């Protein structure tokens, strides 16, 4: 029987590419989303991938959502924590709500989603947790104090949890995408994107969502069983760590 994979924020952007790539690799995939019903329904109609609506920032919603996925598809063996938001502002203009919203979704969301699948993975002796962090969690980014803090936190969580999962057959890894051609990046002011960001990318272009999805498929596979606590940087050479 094929494995079950959950991709949060899996109906748009990088998450949609991940969900499709996992389906093509033979997984039974559930894609969660928080708000955009129209996009989610279109994604479901186009791909045949099951979609579920809940907020990764709400612990009980995650517990209930995972229970529903497991009732429909079976035990979750692969979890891709991809859901993320931006509330960019220079620090002197940043509101407490902008800080809290980003920390809650992009960092606490990883706790909320991973906790409900963790015990089952331990009991079955197999699991794959793949956290989508960001180049901006590695290097920091002006205008993104909130986002950079959350994404750096994701990397700390990855390394700590990897040590807990290792003896139980669970790997926990992170991917740090650079600037990928999604709605999130296209929302950056055009002048900033063209004059400040793209010139910093040695390959000279934005990344493609599928380039991140292929990293996920590898980390989810049995072939990646010796890789845990690690970070794959997929950023076109923009930041070398
Ligand atoms: N890199 C380099 N310089 C940047 C920059 C960036 N990413 N973002 C802003 N700046 C510069 C601007 O060019 C500007 O410089 P000048 O005055 O010399 O032209 C200065 O910072 C102030 O910027 P604004 O005039 O735009 O100030 P603002 O207060 O109107 O807006 C902002 C600030 C909301 C942060 C806006 O500049 C912005 O959205 N910047 C993009 C921030 C960013 O990189 N976000 C990443 C989003 S994609 C993502 O998060 C996915 C991922 O994981 C990579």
In the chain, where the domains are located: 4-234
| Residues classed as catalytic | 147
Residue (of 56, 60, 115) closest to 83 by Cα position? 56
CA distances from 207 to 46, 159, 177, 190, 213 (A): 23, 25, 8, 16, 11
Q: What is the mean pLDDT of the chain?
A: 97
Measure CA 154 to chain center: 10
The model's confidence at residue 231, banded by pLDDT at 50, 70 and 90, is very high
Measure CA 22 to chain center: 14
| Pocket lining: 185 vs ligand 1, CB cutoff 6 Å | yes
| Pocket lining: 196 vs ligand 1, CB cutoff 6 Å | yes
Nearest CA to ligand 1 atom 48: 185
Which tokens belong to 236? 């076109």
Tell me the Cα Rg of the chain. Answer: 17
Q: What are phi and psi of 169, to 5 degrees?
A: 80, 15
- The Å distance, Cα 148 to ligand 1 centre, comes to 13
| Average pLDDT of the residues in 61-79 | 98
The confidence score (pLDDT) of residue 241 equals 86
The confidence score (pLDDT) of residue 78 equals 98
| Pocket lining: 134 vs ligand 1, CB cutoff 6 Å | yes
pLDDT digits over 218-230, tens only? 999 999 999 999 9
In the chain, what's the furthest Cα-to-Cα distance?
53
Cα 85 to Cα 178: distance, rounded to the nearest angstrom: 15
Nearest CA to ligand 1 atom 39: 188
| Pocket lining: 102 vs ligand 1, CB cutoff 6 Å | no
| Pocket lining: 94 vs ligand 1, CB cutoff 6 Å | no
pLDDT tops 90 at residue 54? yes
- The Å distance, Cα 171 to ligand 1 centre, comes to 35
| Average pLDDT of the residues in 20-46 | 97
The confidence score (pLDDT) of residue 104 equals 98
- The Å distance, Cα 196 to ligand 1 centre, comes to 8
pLDDT tops 80 at residue 188? yes
Nearest CA to ligand 1 atom 27: 90
The confidence score (pLDDT) of residue 1 equals 74
Torsion of CA 62, 129, 105, 82, to 10 degrees: -110
The confidence score (pLDDT) of residue 189 equals 95
- Domain 4-234 homologous superfamily, CATH: NAD(P)-binding Rossmann-like Domain (3.40.50.720)
- The Å distance, Cα 193 to ligand 1 centre, comes to 8
Its pTM surpasses 0.95: yes
pLDDT tops 80 at residue 42? yes
| Pocket lining: 179 vs ligand 1, CB cutoff 6 Å | yes
């Amino acid at each position: 029987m094929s494995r079950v994979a959950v991709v949060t924020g899996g109906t748009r952007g990088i998450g949609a590419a991940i969900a499709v790539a996992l389906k093509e690799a033979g997984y039974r995939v559930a894609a969660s989303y928080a708000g955009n019903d129209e996009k989610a329904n279109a994604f479901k109609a186009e791909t045949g991938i099951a979609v579920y609506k809940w907020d990764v920032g709400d612990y009980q919603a995650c517990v209930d959502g995972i229970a529903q996925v497991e009732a429909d598809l079976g035990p979750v063996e692969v979890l891709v924590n991809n859901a993320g938001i931006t509330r960019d502002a220079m620090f002197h203009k940043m509101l407490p709500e902008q800080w809290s919203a980003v920390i809650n979704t992009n960092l606490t969301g990883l706790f909320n989603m991973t906790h409900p699948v963790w015990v089952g993975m331990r009991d079955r002796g197999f699991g794959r947790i793949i956290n989508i962090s960001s180049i901006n969690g590695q290097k920091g980014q002006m205008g993104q104090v909130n986002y950079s803090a959350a994404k750096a936190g994701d990397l700390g969580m990855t390394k700590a949890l990897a040590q807990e999962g290792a003896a139980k057959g669970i790997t926990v890894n992170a991917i740090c995408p650079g600037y990928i051609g999604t709605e999130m990046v296209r929302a950056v002011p055009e002048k900033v994107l063209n004059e400040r960001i793209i010139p910093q990318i040695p390959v000279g272009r934005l990344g493609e969502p599928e380039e991140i999805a292929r990293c996920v498929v590898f980390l989810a596979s049995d072939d990646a069983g010796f890789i845990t606590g690690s970070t794959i940087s997929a950023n076109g050479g923009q930041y070398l760590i």
